[in-house]
Structure 1
Amino acid sequence: MSKKSKKTAQNSQTICLNKKAKFEYFLEERFEAGLVLEGWEVKSLRAGRAQLSDAYVLLKHGEAWLLGSLITPLATASTHIQPDPSRTRKLLLHRDELSKLIGAVERKGKALIPTAMYWKKGRAKLEIALASGKKAHDKRDTEKNRDWQREKERIMKGH
Structure 2
Amino acid sequence: MEKKFFIFNKKVYNNFFLKERIDAGLILKGWEVKSLRLNKVTIINSYVTIYNKKIYVYNLNISPLKTVCNHIKFNSKRIKELLLKKKEIEFLQNYINNKGFTIVVIGLFWKKSWCKINLAVVKGKKKYDKRNILKKKIWNIKKVRLLKKSI
TM-score range, shorter chain: 0.7 to 0.9
Residue by residue over 1:27-85, the C-alpha shift from the partner in whole angstroms, topping out at 9 and shown as x without a partner, is: 11100000000001000000011111110001111111000111111111242212111
CA RMSD across the alignment: 2.4
Seen in structure 2, the aligned counterparts of structure 1 residues 137 and 84 have a Cα distance that, compared at 3 Å, is: same
Provide the TM-score with structure 2 as the length reference.
0.87
Give the distance between the partners of 2:70 and 2:136, measured in 1 at CA: 49
- For residue 13 of structure 1, report the CA deviation from its aligned partner: 4.5
For residue 25 of structure 2, what is the aligned residue in structure 1? 34
Assess if the C-alpha contact under 8 Å between 2:24 and 2:117 holds in 1. Answer: yes
- Aligned-pair identity in percent equals 34
For residue 101 of structure 1, what is the aligned residue in structure 2? 92
For residue 65 of structure 1, what is the aligned residue in structure 2? 56
Determine whether 1:17 maps to 2:8. yes
Tell me the secondary structure at the aligned position of residue 50 of structure 2: strand
Aligned residue pairs, count = 150
Tell me the secondary structure at the aligned position of residue 132 of structure 2: helix
Give the distance between the partners of 2:148 and 2:42, measured in 1 at CA: 35
Determine whether 1:83 maps to 2:64. no
Give the distance between the partners of 1:12 and 1:97, measured in 2 at CA: 20
The answer to which of 140-149 and 71-80 deviates more is: 140-149
For residue 128 of structure 2, what is the aligned residue in structure 1? 137
Provide the TM-score with structure 1 as the length reference.
0.83
Give the distance between the partners of 1:24 and 1:67, measured in 2 at CA: 18
Structure 1 unmatched runs, 5+: 1-9
Seen in structure 2, the aligned counterparts of structure 1 residues 113 and 140 have a Cα distance that, compared at 3 Å, is: same
Structure 2 unmatched runs, 5+: none
* Larger helix fraction of residues: 1
Amino acid at match of 2:5: T
- For residue 12 of structure 1, report the CA deviation from its aligned partner: 10
